[in-house]
Amino acid sequence: MQIVSIIDIYEDKIEINDKIVICGWIKNKRISKLGFSFLDIYDGSTCDPMQIIANNTLSNYTNILQLTVGCSVIVHGTLILSKGNKQKYEVVSQNIKITGWIDQPDTYPISNKKHSLEFLRTMTHLRSRTNLIGVITRIRHCVMQSLHLFLDQKKYYWIPTPIITGIDAEGTGKMFRLSTFDFNKIPKNQDGSVNFKKDFFGKESFLTVSGQLTLESYACSLSKVYTFGPTFRAENSNTSRHLAEFWMLEVEQSFSNLTNIIFLAESILKYVVNIVLKNCFHEINFLSQYIDQKIKNRLENFLIQDFTNIDYIDVIDILLKSKEKFQEKVFFGIDLFSEHEKYIVSYFNNKPVIIKNYPKELKAFYMKLNDDGNTVAAVDILLPGIGEIIGGSEREDRIDFLKNRLKELGLNDQDYWWYLDLRRYGTVPHSGFGLGFERLIAYITGLSNVRDLIPFPRTVKNFQF
Ligand code: 4AD
Ligand code: MG
């Protein structure tokens, strides 16, 4: 007998009267006085459970009567069309093997009642048993697969850029240090400074904030590349949009400019949303019941909306002219706060907004200086309800400009010798961007806190396991 996923039954891939095996957990149990019981089983493949009929002729029927929510079972049975009108199918069991009981069912945290997201955040090892986290997980999977698929079809190559690094790619100093030193006996040099030569790598090392710089080395040979992995930021930002460990898709392309990568970014976002609408039908239905009634409309509209395209300087102009009372004073040179981003998105009728050409002081050293000498060819893409989801730029491909910028920022160009080599040997105009994966899932699902959108969130003063 074949083990089937419940989703395969709902997608009509299994024939009526087929003998099948379903492995899963009890969602619900109802005992009928007519000599049988109904068990609702879930296996994580879809939100709707499968109804199992357990007759009192089963040899372990008295044990089956003791099953509670969360117990695990292996059911051998026959698929039939349901006689009830609540579900299309049911399975008449010939054998039910009980593989796991619930210890003290009265205190089982994931009972069938509704749990708040806050409570579930304290139970990250069990929360994937809820319908909501199951739905998010399947959407997350679909989005990740479709990003790879899109880029593969367009002949971008996947480069696994290193997670352990010596470079501060964004130049913000917000990196997690990596060391095998015993904190009680840190080796020192004669002048009292730490002797990193004695550490694992023989020099300072960190978890990467972005794979971009090493990705650029591959873009300067394979032309179209991307990296997709976890990135780490030791920012003290305790907001619903910030994680200390998050996933980022970064795309890098030679012989391309800002316009090219903005087009690419918009195409990727629309492609992914389209796939989710097509492939995550059950999940979207579930979210429209419990999270965002208008989710389907919202996503369908996203596919046909033009993104607004505007320069940073014009954004400042709009903010200065608005009657809104902002907490943070607006001026040319301000790094936009979430309140400003929200205002700008609503100003443009809640459509996605592309903001370009930021003052160089606001952006990282690698961004290409515009001819005005003050702004860089940078881009941020904002989505309604989320704010910045994508950040990117043209890269400074002129070695003298790049060296100048490093100097201005007090960075040592010796540390970037290999990055400068990319400009020294056959430099090319190139551009790229980074897409925050959890923020994209937030936009798609309508859930607002990224802590619910990564399985085990890590944030300031907070991580489990
Ligand atoms: O704008 P960021 O910092 O850009 C870079 O890291 C560039 N190196 C990308 C590139 O050009 N290759 O980050 C890119 C995106 C942001 O727009 C945001 O969506 C997400 O990553 N992001 C975060 N997501 C969750 N938690 C955080 N702490 C994040 N920081 C950035
Ligand atoms: Mg950014």
pLDDT of residue 27: 96
Alpha-carbon distance of 47 to 286, in angstroms, equals: 8
Q: Using 50, 70 and 90 to split pLDDT, how confident is the model at 283?
A: very high
Q: How far is the CA of 391 from the centre of ligand 2 (A)?
A: 5
Closest Cα to residue 244, out of 463, 44, 15? Answer: 463
Closest Cα to residue 240, out of 355, 387, 433? Answer: 387
Task: State the average pLDDT over residues 440-451.
Answer: 98
- Alpha carbon distances (Å) from 146 to 9, 47, 432, 449: 24, 21, 19, 23
pLDDT digits over 240-261, tens only? 999 999 999 999 999 999 999 9
Q: Are 360 and 375 in contact (CB under 8 A)?
A: yes
Q: How far is the CA of 387 from the centre of ligand 2 (A)?
A: 10
Q: Using 50, 70 and 90 to split pLDDT, how confident is the model at 1?
A: confident
Q: Is 212 in the pocket of ligand 1 (CB under 6 A)?
A: yes
**Domains contained in the chain, CATH given:** 2-108 (2.40.50.140), 129-174+209-452 (3.30.930.10), 182-208 (no CATH)
Q: Please determine, for residue 12, whether its predicted confidence score (pLDDT) is greater than 90.
A: yes
Task: State the average pLDDT over residues 448-453.
Answer: 97
Q: Are 408 and 393 in contact (CB under 8 A)?
A: no
pLDDT of residue 85: 85
Q: Is 245 in the pocket of ligand 1 (CB under 6 A)?
A: no
Atom of ligand 1 nearest to the CA of 435: 15
Q: Is 389 in the pocket of ligand 1 (CB under 6 A)?
A: yes
Q: Is 387 in the pocket of ligand 1 (CB under 6 A)?
A: no
* Average pLDDT score over the chain: 96
pLDDT digits over 99-125, tens only? 999 999 999 999 888 899 999 999 999
Alpha-carbon distance of 163 to 178, in angstroms, equals: 11
pLDDT of residue 374: 97
Closest Cα to residue 6, out of 87, 85, 66, 64? Answer: 87
pLDDT digits over 18-34, tens only? 999 999 999 999 999 99
Ligand nearest to the CA of 212: 1
Q: Please determine, for residue 399, whether its predicted confidence score (pLDDT) is greater than 80.
A: yes
For the chain, give the percent of residues with pLDDT over 90: 95
Q: Which of 248, 335, 433, 447 to mutate to test the pocket of ligand 1 (most atoms within 8 A of CB)?
A: 248
Q: How far is the CA of 356 from the centre of ligand 2 (A)?
A: 12
Task: State the average pLDDT over residues 348-365.
Answer: 97
- Alpha carbon distances (Å) from 124 to 244, 326, 457, 462: 16, 36, 8, 12
For the chain, give the percent of residues with pLDDT over 70: 100
pLDDT digits over 43-92, tens only? 999 999 999 999 999 999 999 999 999 999 999 999 999 988 889 999 99
Q: Return the half-sphere exposure (C-beta side, CA atoms, 13 A cut-off) of residue 157.
A: 13
pLDDT of residue 171: 85
Q: Which of 439, 450, 451 to mutate to test the pocket of ligand 1 (most atoms within 8 A of CB)?
A: 439
Mean pLDDT lowest for which of 117-126, 163-172, 211-220, 283-292? 163-172
Q: Are 307 and 351 in contact (CB under 8 A)?
A: yes
Q: Is 226 in the pocket of ligand 1 (CB under 6 A)?
A: no
Atom of ligand 1 nearest to the CA of 233: 28
Ligand nearest to the CA of 387: 1
pLDDT digits over 367-382, tens only? 999 999 999 999 999 9
Work out the burial of residue 115: count CB atoms within 10 Å of its CB; fewer than 13 is exposed, 13-18 middle, 19 or more buried. Answer: middle
